[in-house]
Amino acid sequence: MKKIKLGIVGTGIAARDLHLPGLLELENKFEIVALFNRTKEKAIRFSNYLNNNPKIYDSYDELLDNVEAVDLALPVQLNYEFIEKALKKGVNVICEKPISVNVEEGKKIVELSRRYKNVVYIAENYRHFSAYDKIKELTSKIGEVYYLQWNLWIYMSKDNKYANTPWRQNPEHIGGFISDAGVHHVASMKKIFGDIKWVYGSVKNITDYLGGPDLLSSTFEFENGILGNYNVSYALDGKNVLMIKGELGDIIFEDDIIKVVKYKDKVIEYYDDYKTHDENSYKKEFEDFYEVINGKENNLGNTEEALKDLAFIEAAIKSNGEKRIYIDDLIR
């Protein structure tokens, strides 16, 4: 299969620190031929990381005339407009998550992906972490599963590079960091147990610099009947622990170690080959995007799944501690 001529649109933190290292390892699949950034100087600086002197364009429309695919690493409020323009030009798209600023606009992106033959791939790198595949496999060891709990304390200081991006400080996307990072966690939980039926949640704002709510506490139910709690804060620090309870024991994922605890048999099994920070999930994204362009089913970058991820967060926020919000009611 031939190389894809790729344009990178938005040459900020995500493109530079997350996407580029993986793309440099995939030079047999992608040739970065074009760059565009609203601030041209940033695109010029980005080009210094590349050896092939990609063309720097003054307009997105002009770039689209000279590429086969675009990597959109933009503020989320620009996703719909830039995806639509690419598809109208017959260009394939890989776009950073979340899919959109809210579910209503996300539904329009899903519709675009159905209307046009070119690929729309939402880059959700957590779907590419092997740890969640392993956890799903190991659930058979604990019998019937009844409950999942995930507590995440992801303290972001005032000098955090993501907290200092202007579009995150004044978010147009629902919930700010609660959705921007939260769709990662929803995608992971769904990878283990499938779709989620309803969500009940409350949010709170603790800091004055994270641009919106920074603490979410939620209760929910998977379509298969498993109950869950998902609690996350970007203002508080602590241990991040995923726990799954079954009739025979627990699965616990903490510090990149998966532990299976069988209480009756007094057996503990450890699986420690899942260093998520060492796993190049972004490279895996682009490898999969390449395969999807060449005919593979788009399972991991599917727009409908990305919409469900965002719908969980929007449901938790709209619940406002008062009532369950059903995911199907939001995305119908």
User: So what's the pLDDT on residue 245?
Assistant: 98
Give the three-state DSSP class for 325: strand
Q: How far apart are CA 293 and CA 285, in angstroms?
A: 12
> Is residue 56 within 8 Å of residue 44, measured between CB atoms?
yes
Q: CB-based contacts of 155: which residues, under 8 Å, 6+ apart?
A: 233, 234, 235, 236, 237
User: So what's the pLDDT on residue 167?
Assistant: 85
Q: How far apart are CA 187 and CA 128, in angstroms?
A: 10
Token duo for residue 330: 């939001």
Count the alpha carbons within 13 Å of 154 in the hemisphere toward its beta carbon. 21
Q: CB-based contacts of 69: which residues, under 8 Å, 6+ apart?
A: 4, 5, 6, 7, 30, 91, 92, 93, 94, 119, 289, 293
> Is residue 259 within 8 Å of residue 270, measured between CB atoms?
yes
> Is residue 131 within 8 Å of residue 274, measured between CB atoms?
yes
User: So what's the pLDDT on residue 275?
Assistant: 80
Q: Is 299 exposed, middle or buried (0-12, 13-18, 19+ CB in 10 A)?
A: exposed
Token duo for residue 204: 């709170």
**Cα of 9 vs its chain's centroid, Å:** 18
Helix pair angle (79-88, 103-115), 10° resolution: 10
Task: Domains for the chain: give ranges and CATH numbers.
Answer: 4-124+281-295 (3.40.50.720), 127-279+309-331 (3.30.360.10)
Beta bridge partners of 243: 149, 252
User: So what's the pLDDT on residue 273?
Assistant: 85
> Is residue 94 within 8 Å of residue 73, measured between CB atoms?
no
Successive 10-residue mean pLDDT values, the chain, 332 residues: 96 96 97 97 96 95 98 98 98 98 98 98 97 97 98 94 87 92 97 98 95 95 98 96 98 96 94 85 97 98 98 97 96 92
User: So what's the pLDDT on residue 16?
Assistant: 96
Nearest to 197 by CA among 173, 162, 224, 215: 224
User: So what's the pLDDT on residue 219?
Assistant: 98
> Is residue 190 within 8 Å of residue 294, measured between CB atoms?
no
Q: Is the peptide bond before 166 cis (omega within 30 degrees of 0)?
A: no
- Other residues' Cβ atoms within 10 Å of the Cβ of residue 48: 7
